[in-house]
Amino acid sequence: MRSRVLATLAVTAVALAPAAPASAYDTLRGIVSVLPDVPETDSALLRFMNPALLQGWDIRDWIGVGLIEAETAAYSPEAANELVAIDFSALDGLAQWGWQQNTFAYLIGDLDPDAVRDALLTRPGMEEVPAGDLTVDLPDGLLILAEGEDYATDFEATKDDYPFGGGWKAHRVAVGEAAALVAFAWPDFEMALEATLDPGVTETQQLMTALVEAAAEASPPGFEAYAAAVEPPRYFERADGTVSEDAALVPAFDMAMLAGAAGDDWEAAQIALAYTGVDEAEAAVAALEERLATGEPVMDAGAKIASRISTGGNGIVVAVVSLVFEPGTPDHPSSEWVQRWINESFSGRLRFMMIAPE
């Protein structure tokens, strides 16, 4: 399975493919490294999937994980090719980052910029924009297209015929040979481009990077992330800002990642929680191990519970608990677990950590 280390992310039309990948999570790590800071960081979410890894899986179920509407095109490659000349099912990475209108989409994979441009220009109002019109100094080979006023919406007109975000009439699109970037306003778009060309290091990026690296270290050799959700603590609280009784079993954390990974015939569902102290991480591991071990579906599916505490840089300690499913396990049970966890992380009760899928 192909792995990519992203140089300045690949909106620059160039991606590097090293002989020995540093991590089984290189695509996800590369995206995290160039995410721009956004308003209301305590609400910003990252959603990621690797459609190329899901070939042969019933990925229609992934419609519930909250990715950009482009994800739905992965179920109909023919329709996506006709609309935007991109085979979403063959992408190595499809990610959405941000909050509400300050949201960005990243598409990683082999793209044909000229074909994408020709397809997009058939849309009324879509125009190609000279790179010199932007305030960002862009590399050669990067095409820029745009339509609509900043943050404009037209839910009826865009509902069924456009995979770059249902409801949004405003699109700013950068297309290179290895990736594309989509945003809904010029200020956000240029900010994201600058972040890919000159990445900074924010506290949010440090937490996300620590989670990704810890999950990769906890994975068997050759594993790749097929899906992930990185969420701040507010999504694990009740509407009134309090934490549920179930959540009291897990010490308060700084950020969480829920991920699915696959390699050869093995697959895993992972929970990674970022802390500032080892004691809190150890308590989280113990609580999660106990709860997951009591779920009969775990034993029926032949899963093994594997845990790891990673102490990386910047004083971040990460607790990782994985459900590793043995070769030959039918129906991709890790996918069911990850979907349940992601969906229930919005319940305000932390049930995603506590209750096995039915």
Q: Quick one: residue 141, left, alpha or beta (phi over 0 = left, psi -120 to 50 = alpha)?
A: left
Q: Assess whether 244 and 217 both reside in one domain.
A: yes
Of the listed ranges 169-183, 202-216, 243-257, 263-277, the one predicted with least confidence = 243-257
pTM of the predicted model as reported, rounded to 2 decimal places: 0.84
The one-letter amino acid code at 185 reads A
- Is residue 84 in a domain? yes
Mean pLDDT of all residues in 325-353: 67
Question: What pLDDT digit, counting tens, does each position of 179-226 carry?
Answer: 899 888 999 999 999 888 887 788 888 999 999 999 999 887 778 888
Of the listed ranges 73-77, 123-127, 135-139, 270-274, the one predicted with least confidence = 73-77
How many domains does the chain fold into?
A: 2
Average pLDDT of every residue of the chain: 75
Contacts of 155 by beta carbon, 8 Å cutoff, 6+ apart: 166, 167
Per-residue confidence (pLDDT) for residue 80, from 0 to 100: 65
Question: What pLDDT digit, counting tens, does each position of 93-119 carry?
Answer: 888 888 878 888 888 888 999 999 998
The one-letter amino acid code at 236 reads F
Q: How many helices (H) and strands (E) does the chain have?
A: 10, 12
Per-residue confidence (pLDDT) for residue 1, from 0 to 100: 28
Residue of 159, 191, 200 lying closest to 172 (CA atoms): 191
Determine whether 1 is exposed, middle or buried from the number of CB atoms within 10 Å of its CB (0-12, 13-18, 19+). middle
| CA dihedral of residues 326, 330, 335, 337 (deg, nearest 10) | -70
Query: Sorting pLDDT into bands at 50, 70 and 90, what band is 317?
Result: very high
Place of tokens 């972040």: 195
Q: Which helix (H) or strand (E) holds 314?
A: none
Per-residue confidence (pLDDT) for residue 2, from 0 to 100: 29
Mean pLDDT of all residues in 120-138: 88
Per-residue confidence (pLDDT) for residue 132, from 0 to 100: 84
Query: Sorting pLDDT into bands at 50, 70 and 90, what band is 57?
Result: low
Q: Is residue 228's pLDDT more than 80?
A: yes
Which range of residues forms the domain containing residue 348?
A: 203-354
Query: Sorting pLDDT into bands at 50, 70 and 90, what band is 283?
Result: very high
Distances (CA, A) of 91 to 21, 33, 132, 225, 302: 18, 19, 29, 13, 30
Residues in the chain: 358
Residue of 148, 147, 152, 144 lying closest to 126 (CA atoms): 147
**Two tokens, residue 256:** 């969480």
Q: How far is CA 17 from the centre of its chain?
A: 20
- Is residue 3 in a domain? no
Question: What pLDDT digit, counting tens, does each position of 143-158 carry?
Answer: 999 988 998 877 665 5
Q: Assess whether 166 and 291 both reside in one domain.
A: no
Q: What values do phi and psi take at 180, rounded to 5? A: -135, 155
Among 197, 224, 255, which residue terminates a domain?
197
What is the sign of the dihedral through the CA atoms of 127, 130, 135 and 140?
positive
Among 168, 197, 226, which residue terminates a domain?
197
Mean pLDDT of all residues in 136-146: 87
Q: Assess whether 47 and 183 both reside in one domain.
A: yes
- Is residue 5 in a domain? no
Among 163, 197, 231, which residue terminates a domain?
197
Please, which residues bridge with residue 255 across strands?
Answer: 274
Q: Count CB atoms within 10 A of the CB of residue 142.
A: 21
Q: Assess whether 87 and 214 both reside in one domain.
A: no
What is the C-alpha to C-alpha distance for residues 123 and 129, in angstroms, rounded to an integer? 15
Q: Assess whether 193 and 207 both reside in one domain.
A: no
Query: Sorting pLDDT into bands at 50, 70 and 90, what band is 166?
Result: low
Per-residue confidence (pLDDT) for residue 23, from 0 to 100: 46
Of the listed ranges 51-65, 122-136, 214-228, 260-274, the one predicted with least confidence = 51-65
Of the chain, the percentage scoring pLDDT greater than 90 comes to 22
Of the listed ranges 111-125, 279-293, 322-336, the one predicted with least confidence = 322-336
Q: Assess whether 312 and 333 both reside in one domain.
A: yes
